[in-house]
Amino acid sequence: NAGVMQNPRHLVRRRGQEARLRCSPMKGHSHVYWYRQLPEEGLKFMVYLQKENIIDESGMPKERFSAEFPKEGPSILRIQQVVRGDSAAYFCASSPVTETQYFGPGTRLLVL
């Protein structure tokens, strides 16, 4: 059973471009969570999704950020018009129903 997969592992974007981060949960997991780790800071919750539903987006910035978890395919975290302050490591986690969250290796976004 492969773990949580995230791609790309590293992403470089110029200011104003779009960033798309993908997360494939572990097999059998229907719950996905996104967290952001800013440089020298702790991980902060962004959004919690189930298939085709956003359950809790209380940690998502109000603008430019969106997330989806379609019926088929990976979960996508989309950042429009990136700014330098978006540079961070973005981690995805998945869980079966409720219980332990398993984390992916993260995507490190660098905005130039």
Pick the closest to residue 48 from 64, 73, 62, 30 (CA basis).
30
Tell me: does residue 100 bind other proteins (CB under 8 A).
yes
Which of 13, 77, 106, 111 is close enough to bind other proteins by CB under 8 A?
A: 106
> How far apart, in whole angstroms, are the C-alpha atoms of residue 43 and residue 56?
16
* Among residues 59, 64, 68, 110, the one that binds other proteins under rule CB under 8 A: 59
Q: Give the Cα separation of 35 and 21 in Å (integer).
A: 12
Give the phi and the psi of residue 84 in degrees, each rounded to 5: -60, -30
Q: Does 26 bind other proteins (CB under 8 A)?
A: no
Return the range that interacts with other proteins (CB under 8 A); candidates 16-24, 33-41, 60-68, 80-88. Answer: 33-41
**Contact residues for other proteins, defined by CB under 8 A:** 33, 35, 41-45, 48, 55-56, 58-59, 91, 95, 98-106, 108
